């Protein structure tokens, strides 16, 4: 088997520490073999993903193997559909069991033989007590149990009855095979547990070959032994079963002795994870199927548009521990956003269209060039977006009587249309009921593609589409399935009544025409709205899109004080990174997720509206370092309330640095000139002749002049004083008018002095 290449490195945990110690001690000859053992009676969910990442992850890290084993010992609930779904989901998560696919049902013969062996050794007996009697005989936690009247049957009688059980001579429940351990054991699990029961049922793999089936506590540990598993990792509810696990392995005298280790299962807020409840939701048609995008099933998460990378990252962050806790679903949502932020191209879409007529548009539609990765400047890829006299914007981006800090469209106010022009709203048209039906605006032809409008500074940027060109699509807006944090935790309240009726809203949306060629499974960020994926219900050009997740980071709500008894904290290892993020405001978190920037950068931007409006008009995260350092310094030192340029000028400046025209030092000078209103970066560079030079001849000539004028410094350098080189470099750069590349000057100077 192998683990995916990008599996996040798992921090160590108590299980990995144990495996490491076992390997170091040469236990099992240094071998590591784990297994993931689902029962094929339902679809896998994100809790299983935790176990999959753990088992396959450990095998990969220690050069071992991880088996996929169907723990299929219950004929009435298992189904090949579930086997197929489990295999698909494990693969999709990025793991490969290779040759090591097993079925407990393949061990039925071997398990039967060992049961006869236990009988022969006097370690098991056939008991005819009814189920009620048996539980009565079992005693309680505080009282020991009583021996069954059948406990002392002879080996011969037991063998005979067990063989007749197998032949089908008894009805279901008439008798069971029990391990003969200790009815007074403080561990209830050890009070002669049943290990075989009668079930006259057809098994999906063994058909009608068997009418007796082994119980989990007997079959599981022996399957582990047959497969030479070293570390049998399971969830905490099996802790009390460990004693029985060890007993069965020892009593059957199998040669391979695996060991069980338990960890806490994953619980997630705002959802349910038990297979029984998931089945009830599916069968009761509360959801559309096992792959309903609101379910925590792997199939549901996949259809929702989440990538396996995000799930693996989530599993790495929650870590592995023994203490039970509920992880906030916001942490999962955070991992999803972080993953898609780096992956999804940005496009324009409008979910709740409001018509905008551009009254001074008197020409053919314009074709705007729009980058797919405006937040990631070196990444190539763009498309054409048509702009015309009739546009649509999201209703939310217009307010008739807005507060002062509303940086979107309002009567008399201007806004930048992403990738397009600045428009100003002149007139609001309403229907008879007073609802706004249309906005009449004018555009500024000078502002195409983000150029600075004269005299306009703090402009917001909104998304839009051209009405005649936009595609009409179905968008499914998914939200959390339950409206309460811990469904089923309130006495007397049916957990199904806690389903959120608004967890799915279907809208007709309008998207830019480039999406006509989108394929099923392709993901996009609809700018300012969220991440979306093309759903498999898409037929030809009739697109159906699922909202994977909105842009807003729900993690921010963790900042709010919460009722301590209701919300469990994420497990300790999980807390680290998100804990730091708690300090971020909601706005900063949104910025971080939109632009893929650091916490500090997001904080600086969120605190300074001028920086933010510059970033919005630049629309590219590449300018962020310059913004939060140089621009912020200038704003603070000069106490500026506005600057006479917008973000696109900063993009231009950055490009001049990128292509080597300007050094960082010169870029600061240009910035100062821009603030002084001297024009665009290029104009300033031309006017002042600031262009950085890499012309070696010119630089050498300048160096020679400097050396000639500073003979004593040269002498000191040659006498061994290295310190003067800094001063000489500075003088030489100055001599070139500050235009020489400092690195080149340093190199040439050293060469000159050495020669
Ligand atoms: P059930 O026992 O009700 O059928 P299950 O969820 O335990 O359901 P299994 O198919 O037995 O399902 O689980 C397979 C493996 O996944 C087991 O090793 C189990 O411990 C592990 N597992 C199941 N649920 C979780 C969870 N929420 N978190 C971590 N591991 C889990
Ligand atoms: Mg189970």
Kindly state whether residue 668 falls inside one of the protein's structural domains: yes
The pLDDT of residue 5 is above 80: no
Same structural domain, 402 and 454? yes
Q: State whether the beta carbon of 37 lies less than 6 angstroms from ligand 1.
A: yes
Condensed to tens digits (0 to 9), the pLDDT of residues 18-69 reads: 999 999 999 999 999 999 999 999 999 999 999 999 999 999 999 999 999 9
Whether residue 585 contacts residue 556, with contact meaning beta carbons closer than 8 Å, is answered with yes
For residue 354, what is the domain's CATH number? Answer: 2.40.240.10
pLDDT at residue 579 in the model: 37
Same structural domain, 733 and 656? no
Q: State whether the beta carbon of 41 lies less than 6 angstroms from ligand 1.
A: yes
Q: Return d(Cα 312, Cα 5) in angstroms, integer.
A: 12
pLDDT at residue 482 in the model: 95
pLDDT at residue 744 in the model: 85
Whether residue 327 contacts residue 267, with contact meaning beta carbons closer than 8 Å, is answered with yes
Residue with CA closest to ligand 1 atom 16: 48
Q: Which three-class secondary structure state does DSSP give residue 1? A: coil
Condensed to tens digits (0 to 9), the pLDDT of residues 307-356 reads: 999 999 999 999 898 887 789 898 999 999 999 998 999 999 999 999 99
Q: Are strands 471-478 and 504-511 parallel, antiparallel or unpaired?
A: antiparallel
The pLDDT of residue 197 is above 80: yes
Cα of 731 vs centre of ligand 1, distance in Å, is 71
Task: Over range 277-292, report the average pLDDT.
Answer: 97
Condensed to tens digits (0 to 9), the pLDDT of residues 395-423 reads: 999 999 988 888 899 999 999 999 999 99
Kindly state whether residue 650 falls inside one of the protein's structural domains: yes
What tokens appear for 220 in the block? Answer: 């599981």
Cα of 38 vs centre of ligand 2, distance in Å, is 7
**Could you list the active site residues?**
39, 265, 275
By most ligand atoms within 8 Å of CB, the mutation choice from 45, 51, 66 for ligand 1 is 51
Q: What is the dihedral of CA 612, 618, 620, 625, to 10 degrees?
A: -60
Kindly state whether residue 136 falls inside one of the protein's structural domains: no
pLDDT at residue 194 in the model: 98
**H helix or E strand, kind and range, residue 135:** helix 131-137
In 3D space, the residue among 316, 330, 275, 334 whose CA is nearest the CA of residue 45 turns out to be: 275
Q: State whether the beta carbon of 51 lies less than 6 angstroms from ligand 1.
A: yes
Proximal ligand: closest to the CA of 69: 1
pLDDT at residue 10 in the model: 56
Same structural domain, 619 and 684? yes
| Closest ligand 1 atom number to CA of residue 265 | 28
Kindly state whether residue 71 falls inside one of the protein's structural domains: no
Same structural domain, 591 and 624? yes
By most ligand atoms within 8 Å of CB, the mutation choice from 265, 279, 314 for ligand 1 is 265
Domain extent for 706: 696-754
Alpha-carbon distances, residue 156 vs 121, 210, 253, 307, 521 (angstroms): 11, 22, 21, 59, 63
Same structural domain, 610 and 680? yes
Q: Are strands 231-235 and 259-263 parallel, antiparallel or unpaired?
A: parallel
Cα of 57 vs centre of ligand 1, distance in Å, is 17
Number of compact structural domains in the chain: 3
Mark which of 420, 448, 463 sits at the end of a domain. Answer: 463
pLDDT at residue 555 in the model: 43
Q: State whether the beta carbon of 48 lies less than 6 angstroms from ligand 1.
A: yes
Same structural domain, 657 and 714? no
Cα of 485 vs centre of ligand 1, distance in Å, is 21
Cα of 272 vs centre of ligand 1, distance in Å, is 13
Cα of 1 vs centre of ligand 2, distance in Å, is 23
Share above pLDDT 90 across residues of the chain, in percent, rounded to a whole number? 65
Same structural domain, 653 and 703? no
By most ligand atoms within 8 Å of CB, the mutation choice from 37, 43, 46, 48 for ligand 1 is 48
Mark which of 672, 688, 704 sits at the end of a domain. Answer: 688
Same structural domain, 459 and 366? yes
pLDDT at residue 554 in the model: 42
Same structural domain, 629 and 675? yes
Residue with CA closest to ligand 1 atom 29: 265
In 3D space, the residue among 436, 452, 424 whose CA is nearest the CA of residue 358 turns out to be: 424
By most ligand atoms within 8 Å of CB, the mutation choice from 35, 47, 215 for ligand 1 is 47
Kindly state whether residue 16 falls inside one of the protein's structural domains: no
Proximal ligand: closest to the CA of 232: 1
Kindly state whether residue 705 falls inside one of the protein's structural domains: yes
User: What mean pLDDT is reported for the chain?
Assistant: 89
Proximal ligand: closest to the CA of 49: 1
Same structural domain, 740 and 644? no
Kindly state whether residue 374 falls inside one of the protein's structural domains: yes
pLDDT at residue 561 in the model: 36
Secondary structure (DSSP) of 658-671: HTTSS-HHHHHHHH
Same structural domain, 371 and 415? yes
Mark which of 441, 463, 485 sits at the end of a domain. Answer: 463
Alpha-carbon distances, residue 718 vs 118, 711, 754 (angstroms): 93, 11, 8
Q: What is the dihedral of CA 274, 276, 281, 287, to 10 degrees?
A: 60
Kindly state whether residue 512 falls inside one of the protein's structural domains: no
Q: What angle do CA 266, 269, 274 make, to 5 degrees?
A: 55
Condensed to tens digits (0 to 9), the pLDDT of residues 451-467 reads: 767 666 678 899 999 99
Q: Which of 232-246, 306-320, 600-614 has the lowest mean pLDDT?
A: 600-614
Residue with CA closest to ligand 1 atom 9: 38
Condensed to tens digits (0 to 9), the pLDDT of residues 352-387 reads: 999 999 999 999 999 999 999 887 767 889 999 999
Same structural domain, 718 and 614? no
Q: Which three-class secondary structure state does DSSP give residue 273? A: coil
Proximal ligand: closest to the CA of 41: 1
Q: State whether the beta carbon of 602 lies less than 6 angstroms from ligand 1.
A: no
Q: Please report which confidence band the pLDDT of residue 558 belongs to, taking 50, 70 and 90 as the band edges.
A: very low
For residue 734, what is the domain's CATH number? Answer: 1.10.10.410
């Amino acid at each position: 088997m192998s683990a995916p290449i990008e599996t996040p490195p798992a921090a160590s945990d108590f299980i990995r520490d144990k495996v490491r110690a076992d390997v170091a001690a040469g236990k099992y000859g240094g071998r590591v073999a784990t297994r993931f053992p689902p029962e094929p009676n339902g679809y896998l969910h994100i809790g299983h993903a935790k176990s999959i990442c753990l088992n396959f992850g450990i095998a990969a890290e220690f050069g071992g193997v991880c088996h996929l084993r169907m723990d299929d010992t219950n004929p009435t609930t298992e189904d090949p559909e579930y086997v197929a779904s489990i295999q698909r989901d494990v693969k999709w998560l990025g793991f490969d069991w290779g040759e090591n696919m097993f079925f407990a049902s393949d061990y039925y013969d071997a398990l039967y033989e060992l049961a006869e062996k236990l009988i022969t050794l006097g370690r098991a007996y056939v008991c005819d007590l009814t189920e009620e009697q048996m539980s009565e005989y079992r005693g309680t936690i505080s009282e020991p149990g009583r021996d069954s009247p059948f406990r002392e049957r002879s080996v011969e009688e037991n063998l005979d009855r067990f063989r007749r059980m197998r032949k089908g001579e008894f009805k279901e429940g008439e008798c069971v095979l029990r391990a003969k351990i200790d009815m007074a054991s403080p561990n209830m699990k050890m009070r002669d547990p049943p290990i075989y029961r009668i079930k006259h049922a057809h098994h999906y793999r063994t058909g009608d070959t068997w009418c007796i089936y082994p119980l989990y506590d007997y079959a599981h540990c022996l399957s582990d032994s047959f497969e030479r598993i070293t570390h049998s990792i399971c969830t905490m509810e099996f802790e009390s079963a460990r004693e029985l696990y060890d007993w069965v392995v020892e009593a059957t005298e199998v040669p391979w002795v695996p060991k069980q280790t338990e960890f806490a299962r994953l619980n997630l807020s705002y959802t349910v994870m038990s297979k029984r409840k998931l089945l009830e939701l599916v069968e009761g048609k509360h959801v559309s199927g096992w792959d309903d995008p609101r379910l925590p099933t792997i199939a549901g998460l996949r259809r929702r548009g989440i990538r396996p990378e995000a799930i693996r990252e989530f599993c790495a962050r929650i870590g592995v521990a023994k203490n039970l806790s509920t992880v906030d679903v916001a942490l999962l949502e955070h991992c999803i956003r972080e993953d898609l932020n780096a992956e999804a191209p940005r496009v324009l879409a409008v979910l709740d269209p409001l018509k905008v007529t551009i009254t001074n548009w008197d020409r053919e539609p314009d074709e705007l060039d729009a980058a797919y990765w405006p937040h990631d400047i070196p990444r190539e890829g763009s498309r054409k977006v048509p702009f015309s006299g009739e546009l649509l914007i999201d209703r939310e981006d217009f307010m008739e009587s807005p507060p002062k800090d509303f940086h979107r469209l309002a009567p008399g106010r201007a806004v930048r249309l992403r990738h397009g022009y600045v428009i100003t709203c002149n007139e609001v048209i309403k229907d008879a009921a007073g609802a706004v039906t249309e906005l009449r605006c004018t555009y500024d032809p000078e502002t195409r593609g983000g150029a600075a409008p004269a005299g306009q500074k703090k402009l917001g940027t909104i998304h839009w589409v051209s009405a005649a060109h936009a595609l009409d699509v179905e968008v499914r807006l998914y939200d959390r399935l339950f409206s309460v944090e811990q469904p089923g935790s309130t006495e007397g309240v049916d957990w199904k009544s806690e389903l959120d009726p608004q967890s799915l809203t279907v809208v007709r949306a309008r998207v830019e025409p480039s999406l006509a060629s989108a394929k099923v499974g392709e993901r996009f960020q609809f700018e300012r709205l969220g991440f979306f994926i093309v759903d498999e219900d898409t037929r030809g050009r009739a697109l159906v899109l699922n909202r994977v997740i909105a842009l807003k980071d729900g993690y921010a709500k963790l900042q709010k004080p919460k009722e301590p008894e209701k919300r469990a904290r994420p497990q300790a290892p999980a807390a680290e990174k998100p804990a730091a993020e708690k300090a971020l405001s909601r706005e900063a978190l949104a910025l971080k997720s939109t632009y893929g920037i650091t916490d500090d950068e997001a904080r600086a931007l969120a605190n300074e509206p001028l920086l933010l409006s510059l970033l919005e008009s630049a629309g590219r995260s590449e300018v962020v370092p310059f913004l939060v350092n140089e621009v912020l310094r200038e704003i603070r030192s000069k106490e500026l309330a506005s600057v006479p340029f917008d973000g696109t000028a900063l993009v231009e400046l950055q490009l001049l640095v990128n292509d080597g025209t300007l050094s960082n030092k010169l870029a600061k000078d240009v910035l100062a000139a821009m603030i002084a209103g001297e024009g665009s970066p290029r104009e300033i560079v031309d006017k002042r002749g600031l262009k950085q030079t890499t012309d070696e001849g010119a630089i050498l000539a300048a160096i020679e002049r400097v050396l000639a004028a500073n003979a004593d410094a040269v002498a000191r350098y040659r006498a061994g004083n290295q310190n003067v080189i800094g001063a000489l470099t500075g003088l030489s750069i100055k001599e070139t008018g500050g235009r020489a590349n400092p690195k080149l000057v340093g190199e040439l100077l050293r060469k000159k002095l050495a020669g």
